[in-house]
Amino acid sequence: MTRYGNKQTNRGWEAHILFTKNTPIIEALRSHPMAREIFALHGMGCIGCMGSNQETIGNGAKMHNIDVEALLKELNELLEAENKQSV
Domain residue ranges in the chain = 2-86
Measured distance CA(68)–CA(46) in Å, rounded? 16
Mean pLDDT of the chain: 80
CATH number of 2-86: 1.10.3910.10
Residue 13 has pLDDT above 60, yes or no: no
Res 66 pLDDT > 50: yes
- Contact yes or no for 29/35 (Cβ under 8 A): yes
* pLDDT exceeds cutoff 90 at 72: yes
| Termini Cα distance of the chain | 20
Q: Are 59 and 12 in contact (CB under 8 A)?
A: no
Asked whether residue 4 carries a pLDDT value surpassing 60, the answer given is no
User: What are the pLDDT digits (tens) for 20-36?
Assistant: 999 999 999 998 889 99
At 36-61, the pLDDT tens digits run 999 999 998 766 777 788 899 999 99
